[in-house]
Amino acid sequence: MPPTVIRGAQVLDGTIQRADLDTSTVGQAIVAKLVQGAGITLSSTGADSGTGDVTVAASVPAGPPGKDSFSTTSGSFTVPSSGSTVNVTLADASWVVIGQMVVVAGAGGGSVAGSMYVTAKSGNQITLQTP
């Protein structure tokens, strides 16, 4: 026997209740009610909180201020040929991570910036390798 199909316009007396709704069949389930929790607020148009047209808002606390991800060198250096490395001392290397790519002003030749990989780090001295 095929399922009975009732359209919303056919139910005028409010006899369909939350218990009548399918909330567990995969692919057919509907949300019967949303409940707010820590960091989540709800506003809704339904008779119960979390029903009807529901707006969900999340409030996430701001994290600590970030650290600058740039620095200046404490001296000049010559950009090595492709695949070679050079040691460079930075004013602050606390943000540097081995394996990351850094953009170095002038490393692309003349006034063009170029990319280099960080292959080692010790204090404020880093080793850069040209690709």
Assess if residue 70 is contained within a domain.
Answer: no
Examine residue 119 and state whether it is found in any structural domain, yes or no.
yes
Residue range(s) defining the domain that contains residue 122: 85-129
In a domain, 72, yes or no: no
In a domain, 117, yes or no: yes
Kindly state whether residue 39 falls inside one of the protein's structural domains. Answer: yes
Structural domain contains residue 78: no
Asked whether 18 and 31 are in contact (CB, 8 A), the reply is no
pTM (two decimals): 0.49
Q: How many helices (H) and strands (E) does the chain have?
A: 0, 6
Number of domains in the chain: 2
Q: Is residue 29 part of a domain?
A: yes
pLDDT string in tens for the chain (131-residue length)? 677 777 766 777 767 776 777 767 777 767 667 778 888 888 877 777 666 777 888 888 888 887 778 888 888 888 888 899 999 999 999 999 999 998 888 766 666 678 899 999 999 999 999 88
Closest CA to 114 of 96, 101, 124, 125: 101
